[in-house]
Structure 1
């Protein structure tokens, strides 16, 4: 019991003595872009001076990469951090409080002490950044301020796009990039200024093996970019204000060769603008993040607008489908109406033609019958042989005329008879022989120019068309009271036969040509009347075509009929 009473006060006193010591331990994170060993060597004098200025506190240095620093800051395991200005801006949300700015002895200014350099091998022959297009270029990482960000920004200002290079982010330490460049693994390297000079001074590389591009200055270090604010010593989170004042005073009192090493905090507007241009930092929201914020903040209105837009799209689709369907239906009905109108017009013309054919047949049959009766009576009462032969010829021709009228009436009102094989040349010769006396009486020379061959069609219909055309020409010569030549030509054409009737009787009025195939001719020039219309209709029913045109001296009628008409 006595020993217990003596032991507990001693243990309690020891615990009370140790508690303040743990409370005075502080962790400082240093950005070690050249590796832990080199950073420890560089920043150990700072830790020693802090221990001397603040003997009641102990400061432990942690030399980390940028990602390691980010992780330690997120965990809250650091009390202070020494890093470049871009890293400070990127982590300002961690509650960083800038205490002092590093005055690099090589530059001597807190506002101008960080730059970047673009290096290539001295023997590469590359003298301009444009020559690195498509080649492998190394950097520490895509947010390295002194290397990639500063050099890439300078390239962009010169109108060059580093995305056209094959970027390789090798990570820390930065020294490895120079080794890769020296050994030919890289065509170029983006590094913080003064890294190469430091490695040359340490005997790690030879300066003659490298050449800088976009050089802006070579003193005190070669740099390819303008100078930006230097490193910062910042407190993390809530730190005792008394300690902050003492620590800041100790930093500002540090000197080297009579020159201060730390200065007052400065504004980082230029750094923030650079980061915003690269969509980094708190002032630059990435597009996807900005879109997400807008969606989260205004999702009700956006959803309503989306529903309205969807309704409009569906309505548009429905209306378009209805419009297309009704348009197709309209076009179908329009085509049907046109077809019916054409059929009706043909029916009216056929009816008119049938009525006229019936009337003409009735009117012509009576005089033909009378002529035949008189011819037969004359043949009976006369005894002279030549007269009997003449009366017999008149009787035969009247019988043939009556047959033509019957066929004409049949063709105008009923389907054509069936086709059969015939020789077009023989048909043309027979026509010329039959119309020869009539042509001689009118002092017209009838020429027949044919080719041998065989066709398949309705020969009487072809004969009727040619008879009408030749008769019209002879009538035209008679009305003009002039002599001339009438030619009937026959030749093979592509896929059929071509019949040509040419005269020199003066031509046809244009109105008759325009009305052909549409209505009855309005006038009867050259004897053109219902016979021409019948010929045109017959040619169509035979699957051919009849074309009439004026030449310089008369009329040319061209009838084309297929092989099987």
Structure 2
């Protein structure tokens, strides 16, 4: 560009262009950003455009005042040849439409570096509650336009540096639109707490006599060498003159030469407030600003891709992948163990069924050898044994099946956890042991062995039995309420048999309420001490109640009111209670339904002491 400053070469180029120009060629059209409105733009830049018209008499030149959207539309439509706009708008036009800067304005107020574009944040002088940019949180701030470089974007970066995000931390962020004068008047009149201006606008308005600068205060003021306007931010290169990609290179060179030859005291320079034109400055600081704000050509940085996330968080993703792999291996191992345990349980069940079948065959062979007078007795023993076995094994085997199905569903859904799985397998083992205990007691009954009586807490037996009914109660929408006395003494009994009694009574109560409307009071299990010093258990339902026939035959073997029922449950319950020295009976519930009650004697001190010695 130094060679272009030589007067002889510059004059030759201008003369050459003037010689080849034709009168029919259209005038040179210069789009100018009218940041303070069309009148101000005409006053400031019309002399510069007239200067170009004088240098190109064969074509002439004309100015086109534009706002930011209009500037973009004009460049896209190629309805202008050159643009004279703010620094930020140029960077966007460069990235979007390929415009190229050919000269930079040298403002009369520029600093030593030639930079002259910055922002100033102003408040009213009497606003003592706002002293710094950081005080703007929760305030109303006005700027001219989100795409205005000095009028917002430079101040945006300054606010972020002060810890204030204008899009999140302000009470309201308003944009007045061009001209920028509206921002000053809004702050002065109390329409906004603070305003963002391009540097030197406040001084221009004061010079025009439109505002009193003493009524305003600058937030976080700073100075720049050679720059005499109020400032709140860093300075950036001044406005560039750029040519469109469709503008002929020869014309661009001639325009540059003409502008470089303009004297510093030319009326056009004085009207525009500049001292001349210089070679294009470095606009990398503007790119760095836009990159930090993720705007303009760097708007794509706001869109974070999966690759970006993986690159930034690869360590945690690797840990997650290892954890997922461990979980998958652990799940496969647990599933294998479940299958093995299930197969073992099935084999045990088959052995049990086979043992039962063998026992039946042995008993049938023995019956054939007995006389007719023993036939009825043996048949009764066999029937009682089979009925007890079938009835009592129904609950633990059903519980085992339910736990196994629940475990299978969790495995299939992939939601199983080791703690849950351990709990389920322990429950299956407990129920299997329970079934084994029942079988052992049935065997003892056949051999006429006594039940194992020991001091036990009746409340514990009630809780254990009702737990087995909770799943069915929830599915039927029938709540089970436990009202258990805290001061119950222990009773002497067989825990499994007492639990079976409670289980049968609660199950019958749930059966009685299946056809009742939902939402009514459910089943209540209550324990207390009666007046005779015994412990009482009462199971209350709000079902259909007892008919006269049912009340008369309630405890008869094989009598039932349920389709498919065996009619042995209450008979067995009464046998168990009476074998423990207690009594089982039924009464009507005054509120509808029935109440099944049984009482058991309290364990004596001697019985408790003997059990403790045995345990020791």
Q: TM-score range by the shorter chain?
A: 0.5 to 0.7
Deviation of 1:324 after TM superposition, in Å, equals 7.9
**CA–CA distance in 2 between the matches of 1:234 and 1:149?**
21
Q: Which of 280, 285, 293 lines up with 1:270 in the alignment?
A: 285
2:208 counterpart residue number: 202
SS in 2 for 1:98: strand
Q: 1:32 to 1:499 in 2, by over 3 A?
A: closer
Distance 1:547 1:228, change over 3 A: farther
CA distance in 2, matches of 1:24, 1:264: 27
Q: Which moved more, 1:283-292 or 1:79-88?
A: 283-292
Rate the CA distance shift 1:543–1:63 in 2: closer, same or farther, 3 A.
Answer: same
Deviations along 1:440-486, one digit per CA (max 9) or x if unpaired, are: xxxxxxxxxxxxxxxxxxxxxxxxxxxxxxxxxxxxxxxxxxxxxxx
Take 1:321 and 1:356, find their aligned partners in 2: how far apart are those partners? Answer: 46
Question: Pairwise mapping of residues 274-423 of structure 1 onto structure 2 (< 5 A)?
Answer: 274-288=289-303, 320-321=411-412, 337-352=432-447, 354=448
Matched, 1:214 2:220: yes
1:224 pairs, out of 218, 222, 232, with: 232
Residue 342 of structure 1, CA deviation: 2.9
Superposed CA deviations along residues 488-542 of structure 1, whole A, max 9, x for unmatched, are xxxxx74454489xxxxxxxxxxxxxxxxxxxxxxxxxxxxxxxxx999625786
d(CA) in 1 for partners of 2:444, 2:62: 116
1:544 corresponds to: 600
Aligned-partner Cα distance in 2 for 1:80–1:50: 12
How many matched pairs?
353
**Residues 143 and 197, structure 2, Cα contact 8 Å, conserved in 1:** yes
Q: Who is 2:263 aligned against?
A: 255
Which of 73, 87, 92 is the matching residue for 1:71? 73
The counterpart of 1:43, out of the listed 42, 45, 48, is 45
In 2, distance between residues paired with 1:98 and 1:324? 63
State how far apart, in whole Å, the 1-side matches of 2:610 and 2:430 are. Answer: 36
Partner of 1:171: 177
2: CA distance between counterparts of 1:78 and 1:324? 66
Q: Say if 2:145 is the partner of 1:145.
A: no
Aligned partners of 1:24 and 1:56 also within 8 Å? no
Deviations 1:87-115 (A, max 9, x none): 11101131212110011101155641100
Distance change (3 Å), C-alpha of 1:540 and 1:67: farther
**How far off is 1:159 after superposition?**
2.0
- TM-align CA RMSD: 4.3
Quote the Cα distance in structure 1 between the aligned partners of 2:432 and 2:610.
Answer: 36
Partner of 1:54: 56
Q: 1:76 to 1:499 in 2, by over 3 A?
A: closer
Could you say what secondary structure the match of 2:83 adopts?
Answer: strand
**TM-score normalised by the chain length of structure 2:** 0.50
Larger radius of gyration: 1
List alignment gaps of at least 5 residues for structure 1: 1-18, 295-311, 358-492, 501-533, 559-565
SS in 2 for 1:23: coil
Tell me how far 1:45 sits from its aligned partner.
Answer: 2.2
Does structure 2 retain, via aligned residues, the 8 Å contact 1:104–1:110? no
Cα 1:117/1:337, change in 2 over 3 Å: same
Counterpart of 2:294 in 1: which secondary structure? coil
Give 1:155's aligned residue: 159
Classify the secondary structure of the residue corresponding to 2:54: helix
Aligned to 2:91: 89
**Gap regions ≥5 residues in structure 2:** 1-20, 267-273, 310-327, 336-407, 452-527, 536-575, 584-597
Q: Is the 8 A contact 2:28 2:60 kept in 1?
A: yes
- Is the contact between residue 110 and residue 230 of structure 1 (CA under 8 Å) also seen in structure 2? no
